[in-house]
Structure 1
Amino acid sequence: MTETAENNQQPEYLKWADFYTEFSTKLLPYRNKRKELIDELKRLSEEIPLLTYLNKDQLSDGSKGFVRDICPFTFIATFNRGGTNKNRLEIAGRLAEFLGVTSALPDNLEVGVPTLDSRRSWFFSNEKSRKPDDINSLWSIFSNAIEFADGGSEESRLEFVDAYEKALQVRNTGWNLTMGLFWTRPQHFVNLDTPNQEYIFSRLTPEGKKSKWEKQLKTGKGYLELRDLLLERFKDSDFPAHSFPELSYKAWIAKTENPEPQPSYDRPYWFVGAVIDNQDFTDKFVNEGIWRHGFNEGSNIDKVYSIQAGDRIAIKSTYTRKNNIPFDNYGQTVSVMAIKAIGTVIENIGDGQNIKVDWTPVQPVREWYFYTFMPTIWEVYPHNWHAKQLIEFTFQYKEQDIKRFKNDSYWRDRFGDHLKDKISPVEPYTLEMAMDGLFMGEDTFTNIVSLLEAKKNVILQGAPGVGKTFIARRLAYYLMGVEDDSRAAMIQFHQSYSYEDFIQGYRPDEGGNFVLQNGVFYNFCERARQRPDQKHVFIIDEINRGNLSKIFGELMMLIESDKRGDKFAIPLTYGKNGEKFSIPENVYLLGTMNTADRSLAMVDYALRRRFAFITLEPYFTSKKFAIFLAGKGVSGAITESIKLAMQSLNEEIRKESRTLGEGFCIGHSFFCPEQPPADEKLWLERIFNHEIKPLIDEYWFDNPDKADKMKQLLNPKKGSVQDGRAQ
């Protein structure tokens, strides 16, 4: 039987082993001819884009360039670091041809062959920071591994142990060293990447933990003891694997059937900045294996103290950008966070500034969108899907689900897919557009806008039906200069509305855990902070329905026009470690208030002095009101009947100064149909009977006779409204 025929009869998870074994054997003679390996990789990188990562070494002079030295494991890793099976096979085949490998190239490198994280594809540090003997140490363990596997003498075993421990001192090796040994001699060495460790120790220890082996595995002796134990267990028919390649295959299957476990809730993931005094220290931190907090005081000191050895950490840089976004952002500014390096905390020095970190530079830098954070230190727990995706994107190299973020409720209005057919060149929102459908004069309208610009906080007050909410939106659009609902949010207060809803508080997340979440106004301010050159208007409908002192809390001071911006930032009630918050200068508050609601207390003085108040009146006598109704097909006779009836009723309401008065006058909005009435008489009758008369009953609830008399104003004996004639 030919070698090829024998190989075809092997299980899928064994077909690659002979190829890797011969590949390593043929690679060993290049230990002292490494320039030839580099030259071949350079040549292939010009044809195969997957190899261009080798052109990102930081050379001794600080410049970037192609690697000038290489270890055997990094050479083998060129086709074991992610990418499609087709691309990996192409690289493996070309390098095998270069080395003179005669074993058949496997059909599939994805079945049981462990691969490196694409961001950690080198077994050594960059040229500028690595030690002179690092790469030689890796060649030594490679050579000793082959000698020990092929010979098995006690002397070669001792030499392997010594070489193993020296190789572990090379930065960037870690458990990857065991993967490299497995590639070198698949039948003789055990790979201890995460899937293999989980699979192995769940079958070797009752608790499914590796605690028994934790220290031993950091020595060559301990590694070989585990290897020897597994070789013995392979002879047991009840053990699930009977060779190291089969073990790797079973671990791969287990990982495929049981995806990555949910990240632990016990410890946070840290996203930290590296800019101090306007200078980026990322490269310095990565090269020196440290991270340093650039300030020796402030709220972040406590966070630095809380970082622990073993925590995952990333260097990030946060900014905004409108152009060169890899998805359709419809001309909107997008918040971006660049991930520049990731690592694991080795030691917290305990001085509130310095942390030792095993860094891996992210090359090229990866950009994350939408869910970002500007301050230097961001403590992230995987308590919601946004945070989980960020953690997986950063530390597991998964892709961000851009579509899900774009269509999330927070970003949907600006970036959602539904905008594709709606987006057109931004049209300026003119005064003419603002006044369309408004019955007040232009001077009155522009005066309110000027007051809003100066005071930053305005409340539109008036009786029901005067168009407070309708006018509020028009004011917002005209102030912003564009009809953009992503910059003009609107909420309605009620008796149960709280500080936790509005600013910040603990609320249950998707998993039922109570976590600190930001409220609607906090998020609105953060969004406005990202676009300081654009005005944002926050509309609070029925502002006097809420307990204002309770809802605004410590922000009562910050809403003042001269207390805006970071200069006046203050700690929040639930703020962690003294984090401070401010209201941006480009945020305007516009409230509406129903003056006829008896159930509500007056706005307290503390809030009243921070707002300007505009009283809106009914516009039944306005020519614009008559023109509007004519445009809806309402006859002049009916319009005149409405005008006379409501003027008479409102005059009676004004006379009741002790119990009613000006603030209870009924507005014109009750009589502004969206579509022309099919039957104008029936339309008006329904408004009178089902909207106006119930209000009259409420106003004179303690005097039914007076209420009946007021209702007669809507139905005079002569020239009745039902007849369509004016009185």
Structure 2
Amino acid sequence: MDATDESPLFYLKSDTLGYNATGIYHPNTGEFTVLKGSQIRQDEMPGLSRDGKRVSLPQERKKLFDEFPNGILLRDFRYKKPSTAAQIVAGRSISGLDAWKDQAGKTLKEIFPREAQAYAEAEEATRIPETIPYCWLLAVKESQWQAPIEQGNWQYGSNVEQQLQKLRNIQPDDLVVLHWTKNSTLTHNDQTFPNVSTIYIKALGSVTQSANAQNNIEVDWFKIYDTPREWYFYSLPGALIWKIDYNHHKEKAYHPKLIDFIFHDTPQDIDWFRNQPFWQSRYGDSLETEEESPAVEQITLFLPEEEFAMFVRRLQEKKSIILKGPPGTGKTLITKHLAHALSPDVQCETVQFHQNFSYEDFVQGLRVNEEQKLALRRGKMLTFIDRANKLPEIPHVLIIDEINRGNPSSIFGEMLSIIEHTKRSLQHAITLAYSTEPTYLPANLYLIGTMNLADHSIAPLDFAFRRRFAFLELKPLFNETWQAYLKEKSKPEEHALINEIQTRLENLNLAIAEDTDLGKNFLIGHSFFTPNNPIDSLHQWFNDIVESELKPLLEEYWPHNIAKATEQTNKLSISVDVDSPTP
């Protein structure tokens, strides 16, 4: 070691993987010496990255084991980069700037920030080509980003076949991005935009080994951000693996702009994105859009982020879910948000079940054609399957509103046996009535049903139907998010009424829940009191809804006790001559 470039001792150790090394960094040259006595990992991990190039078996490690079969070095070895030294020791892809630590636990990057920055920039320049045809966004929980970086990998921890296929398509040398997604408040040009979907980019990497049997890929994380970079609007919440193809959205420019932002530090054009049709009605310069309306109504869901993320996971895994809840809990709206959480390109179709809806309407059946002859006609389900098969990379979501108002087991017929997520392949195909061709549901087809639990006329679903769906319950959400939304729509001088409105609605729901003839399935949902437009008079708006919507509903709830329905209605009504009334 030169006297001019002395540094403290650095350590790299793992009892689990069996390595324990000591080294010295040379800031003048950027080189790193692994000192004699160091124990290097003995089992080989193919696909390591060296100087930005993938090799099947690092020659350096082979030479070391030829000379030291037990992996204990009997002399010093000097390498060009800290990462090369770390990978030789650890036997896996690993960032030397973050892995080598002094006795106090400080990383090499923290002790030599200037040299580390120069090294990182030089390393990045060798890794990022001028043209990037595609990359992979790999999701991680915000609280768990350290593990992939420290271990030099990323692991897919679920068993969704469509996502597993994406994982298998990730190849060595592919560029990957470690990130998480959540809503945030965006401040831009003195404007504030709440609840904007945001991608937090934590690290960039290059794949060194494709997925193994444990669904684990090896990654050389060559750029790690101390403060994650933030990308707004265009995102895919709930997707653990997302391929960004430069040409896939070239006409919309979403993918090219995202790739250039990630790898070439091109600033995001916030004004351009917020004025795109999908986001314009909520974040744009004008509330009107001439091109097209947003694919999802821009009304706050009020659903906690972690609960919505769970809904997305269940949809991805089970592929068939049913949202159940009392009237007014936003079931239909949430179905559309869930669909678009699968992909911004998702294809959706809605069908409503009712008592006269049949197998022939939904699957296929004989119908009289224009020539007054019986002919086989494909129903909603088979038609949608045809569409999904033509675009296998695009999720297709069939939304079945009021799924329990018809006879779902009869409507689905033999299709019921193949909607399970484990049977989405040709080998599980069946032959339908009136047909000779095999039929199966493709992996990119999802079913989302809704159920209104307060309808007395609906018979319970049978067990065979139930076990093929995941049931997710929605509840009234008169919470802080709902309050904030109501404040946005009302005048400041009436904001004091919002707490009063919330209290009265919660008291009504308490009375309904405690009624032995009703219960939680009959609660009043927040959608009754979620306005689309600004409110001129909050108390008048509330009283109008109570009189025209809740009063008739409560009279149906208590048909043999109109006095009780009237009493509960009167408790809701707010006097117009007071600012903060009490019941």
TM-score (ref. length: structure 2)? 0.48
Relative to total residues, which structure has the larger helix share, 1 or 2?
1
Relative to total residues, which structure has the larger strand share, 1 or 2?
2
TM-score (ref. length: structure 1)? 0.39
Bigger-Rg structure (1/2): 1
